[in-house]
Amino acid sequence: MTNPKDMPSAPALPRRLVCSRCGTEFGCDLSGNCWCAEETARLPMPVKGEDCLCRECLRKAAAEASAAR
């Protein structure tokens, strides 16, 4: 039997997601190199009933949250 720890791990493939707000398709790299890690906009995620947001919706939601404060 092969020990899974002795096997090389496969690189994480980017996920294809659909923005919960606008329906735009985008990629998410689970290896930690996702575009959202480069964003200055930060929101608590996930919002109830939502998954990830595209770049434009993330920025819009962050601006709205900032204006509400």
pLDDT top residue among 69 and 16:
16
The pTM is what? 0.66
- Which structure tokens are listed for 49? 């009933």
Torsion, Cα 43 45 46 48, to 10 degrees, reads -50
Q: Is residue 2 part of a domain?
A: no
The residues, ordered by sequence, that sit 6+ positions from 28 with a Cβ below 8 Å of its Cβ are 14, 15, 17, 34, 36, 52
pLDDT tens, 3-57? Answer: 555 555 655 667 888 998 999 999 887 776 778 878 887 666 566 777 788 989 9
Q: Is residue 22 part of a domain?
A: yes
| Structural domain total, the chain | 1
In the chain, where does DSSP find H-type helix? Answer: 55-68
- The range of the structural domain enclosing residue 39 comes to 14-68
